[in-house]
């Protein structure tokens, strides 16, 4: 069990990629705090479901509710994890939303919502969690970006700006924290089958598929596999990197 004794906090872990990551880290032996936001009633039940699945694996897990846009809420969440398990070794900034529309039709609220959740949220979670990693001089920060943050996408300028911001943020904290044996890496998934992408029109899915050399859409588990590796000791010399996982669409 490579992550035996480790404590992970995964944001937005009630569904999709976050859920798969939480399960993967637990599978590798980690205790997992499953963050969710209570704005949608179903999230609480979904998070409870993830916690239950982890406990069934024989690992420890706890649900932690927090709107990661809110500094006080993030601080409380991190303190909850510390109170229970005394440390945080692995932080996965996964929580993200999208409000896709072309720039000319974009509302300021859509812009702010996406930037606040996807970028500010990652900043806040990292800021509060990293101090515990610094004390123990070991840590893994894994930020879920997107291939869109590298190459851009029409109709997703807000999402792309946030995800591109995540990449620059990751590279900066990798430099800041390297001397404390804390690595920071970004994972940039391509088209992954989740509720978020299921909302897209079928023709968009088809056109995406045509661009993927491996000829299939990605699964949340594909991403979780990479995140799991980055969390282990084996990935200890990798930091400040953006690793794309997109079936080869945007090398």
Partner 1 sequence: MTVEDQIREIVARITHVDKSIITRESTFKGMKADSLDVVQALVAVEEAFEIEIPDEEAQKFKNFGDFVSFVEKQVAQKEKV
Residues annotated catalytic, as ranges: 159
- Choice between 135 and 204, CB closer to partner 1: 135
CA angle 137, 146, 82 (to 5 degrees): 30
CB burial of residue 58 (10 Å; 0-12, 13-18, 19+): exposed
CA distance 167 to 169: 5
Among 39, 41, 104, 179, binds partner 1 (CB under 8 A): 179
> Does 177 sit near partner 1 (CB under 8 A)?
yes
Report in angstroms how near the CB of residue 22 gets to partner 1 at its nearest: 29
- Choice between 175 and 199, CB closer to partner 1: 175
Contact criterion met (CB below 8 Å) for 243 and 249: no
Report in angstroms how near the CB of residue 130 gets to partner 1 at its nearest: 10
Report in angstroms how near the CB of residue 134 gets to partner 1 at its nearest: 6
Return the range that interacts with partner 1 (CB under 8 A); candidates 37-45, 116-124, 172-180, 210-218: 172-180
Return the range that interacts with partner 1 (CB under 8 A); candidates 6-14, 33-41, 176-184, 225-233: 176-184
Among 56, 84, 131, 204, binds partner 1 (CB under 8 A): 131
The per-type count for the chain, helices as H runs and strands as E runs, is 10, 7
Report in angstroms how near the CB of residue 176 gets to partner 1 at its nearest: 7
- Biggest CA pair distance of the chain: 51
> Does 199 sit near partner 1 (CB under 8 A)?
no
Contact criterion met (CB below 8 Å) for 70 and 127: no
> Does 147 sit near partner 1 (CB under 8 A)?
no
Return the range that interacts with partner 1 (CB under 8 A); candidates 47-55, 58-66, 103-111, 175-183: 175-183
- Choice between 180 and 205, CB closer to partner 1: 180
The CB density around residue 171, as the number of other CB atoms within 10 Å, is 16
> Does 134 sit near partner 1 (CB under 8 A)?
yes
Report in angstroms how near the CB of residue 137 gets to partner 1 at its nearest: 10
Return the range that interacts with partner 1 (CB under 8 A); candidates 36-44, 55-63, 171-179, 222-230: 171-179
Residue 153 to residues 74, 122, 220, Cα–Cα distance (Å): 30, 21, 21
CA distance 57 to 216: 29
Which of 12, 160, 37 shows the shortest CA–CA distance to 92?
A: 12
| Angle between helices 157-177 and 121-136 in degrees, nearest 10 | 20
> Does 215 sit near partner 1 (CB under 8 A)?
no
């Amino acid at each position: 069990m490579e992550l035996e004794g480790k404590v992970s906090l995964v944001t937005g872990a009630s569904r999709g990629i976050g859920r798969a990551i939480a399960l993967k880290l637990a599978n590798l032996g980690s205790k997992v705090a499953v963050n969710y936001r209570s704005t949608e009633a179903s999230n609480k039940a979904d998070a409870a479901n993830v916690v239950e699945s982890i406990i069934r694996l024989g690992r420890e897990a706890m649900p932690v509710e927090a709107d990661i846009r809110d500094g006080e809420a993030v601080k409380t969440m991190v303190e909850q994890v510390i109170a229970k398990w005394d440390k945080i070794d692995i932080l996965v900034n996964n929580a993200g939303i999208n409000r896709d529309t072309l720039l000319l039709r974009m509302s300021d609220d859509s812009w702010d919502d996406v930037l606040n959740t996807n970028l500010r949220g990652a900043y806040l979670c990292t800021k509060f969690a990293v101090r515990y990693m610094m004390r123990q001089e070991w840590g893994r920060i894994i930020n879920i970006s997107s291939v869109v943050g590298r190459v851009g996408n029409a109709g997703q300028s807000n999402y792309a700006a946030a995800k591109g911001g995540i990449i620059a943020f990751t590279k900066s904290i990798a430099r800041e924290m390297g001397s404390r044996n804390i690595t920071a890496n970004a994972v940039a998934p391509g088209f992954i089958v989740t509720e978020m992408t299921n909302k897209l029109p079928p023709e968009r899915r088809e056109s995406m598929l045509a661009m993927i050399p491996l000829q299939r859409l990605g699964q949340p588990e594909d991403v979780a596999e990479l995140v799991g590796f980055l969390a282990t000791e084996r990935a200890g010399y990798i930091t400040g990197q953006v690793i794309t996982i997109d079936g080869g669409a945007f090398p």
